[in-house]
Structure 1
Amino acid sequence: MPAPNHSADDRALHLWQALADADGLPPAWLADAVQYVAPLANRLAERHATQPQPLVVGINGAQGTGKSTLAKALALMLETRFSLKTTALSLDDFYLGHAARQHLSQTVHPLLATRGVPGTHDIALALATVQSLRSSHGIVALPAFDKASDDCVAESARRHTSAPRDVIILEGWCIGVCPQTDAALTEAVNTLETQEDTDGRWRHYVNDCLAADYQALFANIDYLVMLKAPDFDCVLEWRSLQETKLADRLKAQNHDGTRIMSADAIARFIQHYERLTRHGFATLPERADTTFYLDTNHRICDQNHRAYQ
């Protein structure tokens, strides 16, 4: 493992404070980061030192759990304290564009117009991007998605980074989740499925996609982290808070905010994710290398680590 640069610790804390300020995080976030995220960064640096290839870290968490914030905090610590070249990606970066999802909605199922579930990402691009960051030598373009316009960021506006990287972080709500059994798909889990997926065609398509290319992507993950929400009710509350922050940010940038969802729209939107989120709650904690259990105040209240084999 690279020797930690202890003189950089103060700078890492300063960068974390700047991150907290930029993301509007509560004061307790920094205390939790010092207690939980810093030791995780140490474990990741140790793991990186044990393998010849770059380390791929997966972060799973339901909407609003803080996946992107954790990814940014880890990247800052790994870069600053251990001098590890780190790139954080989101599964959201690889959403299919608006037109492609409209095509799916017309040819497969209307619910596929909504971004998010397996089958609405360009997994071939995600695989290619991760593999390029691990093994290529040169400049790699980083795909991105603009949620305000509900479409992919143009190639000319994408960020670029040099490769290979030492650590690649991939965060997303269904990262690491395995497909359900056919029997588990029989009963609807919410109003959306009851009223708009009466024959189960949508959820079977989503599950089939998850069982295929998504597992190939997840197979690249060397270390899996889960942010475990206390229950699905918290997901609605925290996702609503995310939308409020997005609205404030767009207002500050003089956007008209026409893509901001209402409370009813958010409640319907997260029902697309409910089935696999609950499945992840039930199956991932025992499989993740590190699980952070969150309380209803959005703070880490417990953790579990698997011994590295």
Structure 2
Amino acid sequence: MYSQLISDFVENEALPDSYREDAFEFFVPLVDLIANRALDSEHTLYVGINGAQGTGKTTLGKLLVTLLSAREFRVANFSIDDFYLTQSERNQLAESQHPLLATRGVPGTHDISLLMTKFEELKNLKAEQVCELPRFNKAIDDRCGTEDWQKLIGPIDAVILEGWFVGAPPQATRDIELPINALEKTEDADGSWRKYANYQLADQYQSAFDQLDLLIMLKAPSFKQVSEWRSLQEEKLKKIGPIDSPGIMDEEQLARFIQHYERLTRHCLEYLPVKADVLFDLDTDHRIAGVYRHEN
């Protein structure tokens, strides 16, 4: 029943033919797993997709919605990125806590209270009731106006939350003492930024991640590969919006930006594979080299 849906999806998303092959072999069984879990669950099923930048987690989320919807499941799909604090809120945080918090990305730069509120709304959404979810425009580095928010009609069978550190545990205190790149060494010499982010991850973010019934990980081969994939993402952003949009970065700006994500990305690559319920190992060509199921 999925053949035409997957073919159309690959064409509409301008994906390579290899994605069609991987979708049939690996993602169709994943759809079956989610569908069975949703049917067995007494409440709305919460699914997390973890993947570093450029791994294809957003694309996977879209595909899951397409295939699950064909089976008459009502699915909410969104990114933790959509819950970034507004630019104004991050600037205030930068003044009160640390200048690096003006840059979106790390724990502490999201409105987790809003996320938890929306989790609860989706869980209790009745027939014909509407839930509005925020959207974030990376091209302007700010939250969209409410008129552009995603509108979902209840009831909802499954919620998919994707993000680059979704499901990540906090780091041990000893692991955040030393800087791991030039950004941390020069702009966070005392470690207060990374300690703040780790505290937030250990606190409110874990409360959100505890809601997840199923955690899926798209594991990149290395952080070096993640950097290359993120560069490709930036090129796509340039094609979507005006080249002078405030959120569009040149090569030097992007290199600095990626360093904000390095610590937690490396942490996820090391610790999440054994925590994820379903692990997809990716190769350098975005192909799935292996899949592993864990009974957590």
User: What's 1:233 paired with?
Assistant: 224
Matched, 1:244 2:244: no
Equivalence for 1:4: none
Instruction: Give runs of aligned pairs for residues 146-295 of structure 1, distance below 5 A.
Output: 146-250=137-241, 256-295=244-283
Task: Give, as a single letter, the amino acid of the residue that structure 2 aligns with 1:90.
Answer: S
Farther off after superposition, 20-29 or 297-306: 20-29
Task: Tell me which of 33, 37, 40 is aligned to 2:30.
Answer: 40
Secondary structure of 2:241's counterpart equals helix
1:181 and 1:89 map into 2 onto residues whose CA distance is 29
Q: Specify the alignment match of 1:62 in structure 2.
A: 52
143-152 or 257-266, larger mean C-alpha shift: 257-266
Residue 9 (structure 2) aligns with: 19
Which deviations, in whole Å up to 9, do the C-alpha atoms of 1:21-50 show, x marking residues without a partner? 333322211111111110000011111122
Question: Do the aligned partners of residues 98 and 133 (structure 1) sit closer, same or farther apart at CA in structure 2, a change above 3 Å counting?
Answer: same
Deviation at 1:15, TM superposition (A): 3.4
Task: Tell me by how many angstroms 1:270 deviates.
Answer: 1.2
1:254-281, CA deviations, whole angstroms, 9 ceiling, x for partnerless residues? Answer: x744431112211111111111111111
Match for 1:184: what amino acid? D
Alignment check: 8 A CA contact 1:134 1:163 kept: no
Report the alpha carbon displacement of residue 66 of structure 1 after superposing the two structures with TM: 0.5
Task: Give the drift of 1:136.
Answer: 2.6
Structure 1: how far apart are the matches of 2:5 and 2:236?
21
Is contact 2:80–2:162 with CA below 8 Å preserved after alignment? yes
Q: Deviations over 1:81-123 (max 9, x none)?
A: x211011010011000000000111110010010011000000
Residue identity over aligned pairs, in percent, reads 44
Q: Give the C-alpha shift of residue 161 in structure 1.
A: 0.9
Q: Partner of 2:111 in structure 1? A: 122
**55-64 or 265-274: which moved more?**
265-274
Letter of the structure 1 residue corresponding to residue 268 of structure 2: G
Trace 1:82-93 onto structure 2 (pairs within 5 A). Answer: 82-93=71-82
**What do the CA deviations read for 1:163-192 (whole angstroms, capped 9, x no partner)?**
230010000001000101111111111111
The 8 Å contact of residues 278 and 291 in structure 2, kept in 1 or not, is answered as yes
Correspondence 1:81-120 to 2 at 5 A: 82-120=71-109
Give, in whole Å, the separation in 1 of the partners of 2:75 and 2:7: 19
**What TM-score, normalized by structure 1, do the two folds share?**
0.92
Q: Which residue of 2 aligns with 1:6?
A: none
Root mean square deviation, CA, Å = 1.3
Number of aligned pairs?
294
- Which amino acid is the alignment partner of residue 22 of structure 1? N
Q: 1:49 and 1:238, CA in 2 relative to 1: closer, same or farther beyond 3 A?
A: same
Q: 2:293 aligns with which of 297, 300, 305?
A: 305
Partner Cα separation in structure 1 for residue 172 and residue 246 of structure 2: 39
What residue in structure 2 maps to residue 5 of structure 1? none
Query: In structure 2, how many angstroms separate the alpha carbons of the residues matched to 1:30 and 1:219?
Result: 32
Counterpart contact for 1:139–1:163, Cα < 8 Å: yes
Asked if the contact 2:141–2:246 (Cα under 8 Å) also holds between the matched residues in 1, the reply is: no
Look up the equivalent residue of 2:197 and give its one-letter code.
V
TM-score by length of 2: 0.96
State the distance in 2 between where 1:135 and 1:89 align: 18
Q: How far apart are the structure 1 equivalents of 2:58 and 2:193? A: 28
Distance 1:14 1:243, change over 3 A: farther
Aligned structure 1 segments of 4 or more residues deviating by more than 2 angstroms: 12-24, 255-259
- Could you tell me which amino acid in structure 2 is paired with residue 200 of structure 1? G
1:78 to 57, 68, 71: 68
Quote the Cα distance in structure 1 between the aligned partners of 2:141 and 2:3: 34
Consecutive unaligned residues of structure 2, counting only runs of 5 or more, are none
Per-residue CA deviation, residues 112-163 of structure 1 (Å, 9 max, x unaligned), is 0100110000001111111111113211001111111111111122121112
Work out whether 1:52 is the aligned partner of 2:54. no
CA distance in 2, matches of 1:210, 1:22: 36
C-alpha separation in 2, matches of 1:94 and 1:18: 30
